Amino acid sequence: KGATPHSPTGAPSKDSEDAQRQQGAYLTTAQGARLSETDHSQKAGRRGPTLLQDHHLREKIMHFDHERIPERVVHARGAGAHGVFTANGAAASVCRAGLFAEGKETEVFVRFSTVLGSRGSADTVRDTRGFATKFYTDEGTWDLVGNNIPVFFIQDAIKFPDVVHAGKPHPDREIPQAQSAHDTFWDFVSLHTEAQFHTMWNMSDRGIPRSFRMMEGFGVHTFRLINAAGETSLVKFHWKPHLGVHSQLWEEAQLAGGMDPDFHRRDLADAIEAGAHPSWDLGIQVFPDTVDSDGVSEMFHGIDLLDPTKIVPEELAPVQVIGTMTLGANPKNYFAETEQVAFHPGHLVPGIDVTNDPLLQGRLFSYLDTQLSRLGGPNFGQIPINRPHAPVNDMLRDGMHQTADHVGVAPYRPNSLDGGCPFLAGTADGALVEVAQEIADAQIERRAPASFDDHFSQATLFWASLTEVEREHTAAAYTFELGKCYEEAVKIRQVEQLAHIDHGLATTVAQGLGLPAPAEVPVAEVVTSPSLSQVGREWPTDG
Ligand code: HEM
């Protein structure tokens, strides 16, 4: 194992490419034996039959037969790019991670994706977009595995299979779709009302981005940072695109999807190739890591920071820019890089830690687990795109697809045969630190805290923040998507849920669907500031 040499743009260097490139004056078998030709199989006589002894034929077809690997269970369709993150030093006071030191440059690989479509689906569908970044830091790899929407559908990872089953194609007809156009998705959302806020982002113009280059990104969960003095803060991560946030119109998205299903991946690759390198500021919202007078931690202005269905408005906690990322190189090989890259929210570096957000906690299991089958065994960390750019000394041995030639006889510590145990002497400096947390009088239970009960107030806030034209688009999207449901009861239930957000919206959608207006219900009290610039707003462009 070891680092692949990379160029300043983050792309693999020419040396490593040459080693991979298959060149030479003549073709060979996979074993390097020279071939006379590759267009005819060996036959007994000119008219056959074909001979089993033709190793070249069998090797060529055997390899082809196994070219496909399983697509990701979610986020199957994606596009990637290499780049560099440059820190401005602003996070150094709250985080000890070396990548945040002023002026420090760190290579990155980013993969943008849709969530629900298969690998061959269209780019421009109405859906959430993944925004996953691998930072190859000197202290190990840090993955920020986020989305372009700052909240999630569910509060607990145990519901993830359920929400994905509801969003994926119907089991009977296998008709693919995005968030929309089917009964199971709207059935889920109208019954599991914590999903209403995320769904409203999807129905707004944010659900149909113009370009990957013009999307915000969000870490969604609250993370815990640790500084050099061992002090902790809670943060949410934000990517702010220098090109601003822009969407398509629904008609544009449909036309683009029909005429060029690769619209977004082509846009990204063409822009990078043309030298129009997309860039983003990385920012953090910082919250104190304290326990309030009721003995509850991770609360901020009445918002539960462990609830991934809630944002913290930027008026309450401004986003502070801590660095800039520029994507400067396209992948050379889609399969090797974009398809085989393996992100994991548990890939952390010293100074960055997780919190008890129950959605994040489940993700910490899921990614490694799924990659075991997607990438064929436990050694996918050795695939070049997944290799850390820091030295690796992990005592992991053998297994399917092992490519390392490990030296030594004692892959255990301490040992007296192979150089002993350097970290018994104490390597706290620079080591991964898990923040000690007290779990006092805890009972094992399957319940959420009461602070997770509010499912509507931030959706109301979001609606209130939209301009008139954004509201028209959002109401039209609800009407269009719900109009594709076969089950009247599902449509009616969802319209009733919209009444908890805004009765005018619910009435407009009901009219569009030919349904009676729902009864008026008290709209949830907004727990946070009513003027909300984070949602539904364009990030100012700088030219
Ligand atoms: C893949 C984001 C919740 C399981 C992904 C990817 C992103 C992402 C960006 C694509 C990574 C890539 O490009 O390779 C998120 C966000 C979440 C969330 C922001 C919530 C805040 C969950 C949950 C689970 C989950 C709760 C399961 C309990 C998966 C799996 C993959 C995936 C299995 C496929 C990974 C692979 O095959 O490499 N997610 N996700 N995600 N996510 Fe999530």
Which atom, in ligand 1's list, is nearest to the CA of 342? 38
Q: How high does pLDDT run on average in the chain?
A: 90
Q: What are phi and psi of 399, to 5 degrees?
A: 90, 165
The token duo for 396 is: 């992991």
Q: What is the pLDDT of residues 229-273, one digit of tens each?
A: 999 999 999 999 999 999 999 999 999 999 999 999 999 999 999
Q: What pLDDT shows up at residue 24? A: 84
Q: Is 11 in the pocket of ligand 1 (CB under 6 A)?
A: no
Q: Are 502 and 460 in contact (CB under 8 A)?
A: yes
CB atoms within 10 A of CB 121: 17
Average pLDDT over every residue of 39-43: 97
Closest CA to 145 of 368, 310, 315, 452: 368
pLDDT surpassing 60 at residue 180? no
Rg, the chain, Cα only: 26
Residue 175's pLDDT band (cuts 50, 70, 90): confident
> What's the CA-to-centroid distance between 363 and ligand 1, angstroms?
7
Answer yes or no: 75 catalytic. Answer: yes
For residues 326-348, average pLDDT? 98
- What SS3 class is residue 107? strand
Contact 114, 121 (CB under 8 A): yes
Q: In angstroms, what is the span from residue 289 Cα to ligand 1's centroid? A: 26
362 lines ligand 1 (CB under 6 A): yes
Cβ of 196 less than 6 Å from ligand 1: no
Ligand 1 atom nearest the C-alpha of 221 is: 21
- List alpha helices for 66-146, DSSP H: none
**What pTM was estimated for this model as a whole?**
0.93
Q: Which is catalytic among the residues 56, 75, 238, 389?
A: 75
Band (218; pLDDT cuts 50, 70, 90): very high
Residue 361 Cβ inside 6 Å of ligand 1? The answer reads no
For ligand 1, pick from 69, 72, 73, 74 the residue to mutate: most ligand atoms within 8 Å of CB: 74
- Ligand 1 centroid–CA 405 distance in Å is 32
- Selected catalytic residue, list 147, 202, 379, 386: 147
Residue 222 near ligand 1, beta carbon < 6 Å: no
Report whether residue 77 contacts ligand 1, using a CB cutoff of 6 Å. Answer: no
Task: Tell me, in angstroms, the distance from the centre of ligand 1 to residue 366's CA.
Answer: 8
346-405 pLDDT, tens digit per residue, is 999 999 999 999 999 999 999 999 999 999 999 999 999 999 999 998 999 999 999 999
Could you give the ipTM of this predicted complex? 0.96
List Cα–Cα distances, 289 to 234, 235, 256, 350, 531, in angstroms. Answer: 6, 9, 46, 18, 25
**Which neighbouring-strand residues pair with 145?**
132
pLDDT, residue 141, reads: 98
> How close is the Cα of 122 to the center of ligand 1, in Å?
19
Q: Rounded distance, CA 152 to CA 378, Å?
A: 29
Cβ–ligand 1 contact at 367 (below 6 Å): yes
pLDDT tens for each residue of 6-20: 555 656 555 555 555
Atom of ligand 1 at shortest range from CA of 145: 9
The alpha carbon of 278 and the centre of ligand 1 are apart by a number of angstroms equal to: 23
Helix 503-513 × helix 468-482 angle, to 10°: 40
Mean pLDDT of 404-425: 79
At residue 163 the predicted structure's pLDDT band, cuts being 50, 70 and 90, is: very high
Would you state the structure tokens that stand for residue 421, as one six-digit string?
């145990």
Question: Which residue owns the Cα nearest ligand 1 atom 37?
Answer: 72
Q: Which of 69, 73, 75 to mutate to test the pocket of ligand 1 (most atoms within 8 A of CB)?
A: 75
Q: Average of pLDDT values for 292-298?
A: 86
Whether 147 is a known active-site residue: answer: yes
Percent of the chain with pLDDT over 90: 80
- For ligand 1, whether the C-beta of 80 sits within 6 Å is no
Q: Is any atom of ligand 1 closer than 6 Å to the C-beta of 212?
A: no
For atom 36 of ligand 1, the residue with the nearest CA is: 72
